Chain A
Amino acid sequence: MGGDAVNVVNEVVAWLTDPAQWSGPDGIPVRTLQHLWYSLLATAIAGAIALPIGVYIGHTGRGALVAVNLTNLGRAIPSLGIIILAFTLVGFGLVPVLVALVALAVPPIVTNSYAGVRSVDRDVRDAAEGMGMQGRQVLWQVELPMATPLIMAGVRTSAVQVVATATLAAFVGLGGLGRYLIDGLAQRDLPQVVGGAILVAVLSLLTELALGRVQALVVPRGLAGQGADAAVRAKVEKAA
């Protein structure tokens, strides 16, 4: 592969604008929906596992060391290896890919929701208790709302990583936009490979932007400034 860049651009444009590419089970719309479906499923499962853990650790202060180091551990484990290992053990299907994607998405959500709850000012917590709030009320009415900027930053980080890593699911036979990349590499079909890569890049950037919007909507108005700051702080995760 390689060669004349101008030629490649023309071929890629031809590939992307070919009507045949935009219909049928191998078409771009179906592949995009598959990609989003895997990503949504993995992020939702990861959130259901990680949020309670992170919030519990933040609220009680127990297991803080785990919460802080989980992200470092997650960073050191290569996600392509986990996907292929799970595939070799379980066989073809959505489960091995989901296992890898969930494992990848859990650490940032745990670490950020822990940090979010922890970052609530000691005085604010004392004030809530002084007003007669019980532990549970402090959690639901004070700590969680104030932690939303960081919690959302964690979910966003994970979701963007999952969308990127879902590309690798194609390597073990699943659908999604990664198909164009993996099939194109195997067939030495440069327009397909590059066209697919452009689609994957655009989908990742759109996911990042869309979740930024969601974050702005979900974060309480009084904390709006902290959302951007939290996003910057959390945005250093990359697994694939």
Chain B
Amino acid sequence: MTDGPAPVLAAELVRWSWIGDHLDDIRGDLVQHVELTGLALLFGLLLAFPLALAAVQWPRAYGPILGFTGILFTIPSLALFILLIPFTGLQIQTALIGLTIYTLLILVRNTVEGLRGVDPDVREAAQAMGYTRGRQLFQVELPLALPVIIAGVRIATVTTIGLVTVTALIGWGGLGRLFIEGFTLNFTTPIVVGIVLSALLAFAADLLLVGLQHRLTPWARSGGG
């Protein structure tokens, strides 16, 4: 490993012409990365929301739900992806199920904390105005809990974008595929491109979610707090 092309590589970390020649591949990886992240978050929210509602409704269930999602969260991602292989093979489901599982801890926790943080006076006022339980949840409590929920979605999104790269080891990976390509070719350019683009994607997604929160909670803008 010490001889061979190493001196050349040290001299140039990024060969721009390679990037120019592989724009289509890179775009494909980026699209796959966004798709895997988006789907994992979508499924994560669909699962986390009922779990969070259950935890708010039955507080005694909250501990076990957090404990279980916490244990899943602790399992290293490559190990979890591999443990799914006997069931789903090397299909995209394996990557998606694993990525979805990792969003649960953060999404459930923040949704519960957000809903619990709603001022009891506000809840009482809604009840006194004759809101049904469902309307109260969707029109009063959820909007007020939104900043905390979106804070969770932001952490889950940035984390998922990083974890997607690990799925390159089971044949997916989005931008993580570029790491494997660089490793195979012993060539830094694809690796650097992969790292930079996935970090940029994380920042862009985070900014987008901040903007979304800003739009969805107009009452929070002028209050400054």
Residues on A lying within 8 angstroms of B by beta carbon are 1-3, 5, 8-9, 72, 75-82, 84-85, 87-89, 91-92, 160, 163-165, 167-168, 171-172, 178, 181-182, 184-185, 190, 193-194, 196-198, 200-201, 204-205, 208, 232, 235-240
Structural contact, A80 and B176, CB atoms closer than 8 A: yes
How near does chain B come to A204, taking the closest CB pair, in angstroms? Answer: 5
Given A88-B9, A197-B78, A236-B155: A78 and B194 within 8 A (CB)?
yes
A81 to B191, CA, bound (A): 6
**Bound-complex Cα distance A178 to B195 (A):** 22
Given contacts A5-B86, A197-B82, A240-B78, contact A75 B158 (CB under 8 A): yes
Q: Are A194 and B162 in contact (CB under 8 A)?
A: no
Tell me the bound Cα distance from A210 to B86 in angstroms: 30
- B88, B183, B186, B192 — most chain A CB neighbours (10 Å): B183
Q: Size band of the B side of the interface?
A: 35 or more
Given A78-B195, A181-B78, A236-B105, A85:B188 Cβ within 8 A: yes
Q: Which residues of A contact B175 (CB under 8 A)?
A: 78
Asked if B182 and A82 make an inter-chain contact with CB atoms under 8 angstroms apart, the answer reads no
Near A by CB (< 8 A), chain B positions 83-116 give: 83, 85-90, 102, 105-106
Known: A81-B179, A167-B79, A208-B74. A75 touches B162 (CB 8 A): yes
Residues in chain A near residue B203, CB distance under 8 A: 76
Some 19 contacts from A to B, beta carbons below 8 A apart, are A2-B86, A8-B86, A79-B162, A81-B165, A84-B179, A164-B77, A181-B82, A185-B169, A194-B83, A201-B75, A201-B80, A204-B74, A204-B75, A208-B74, A232-B66, A235-B70, A235-B73, A236-B159, A238-B159
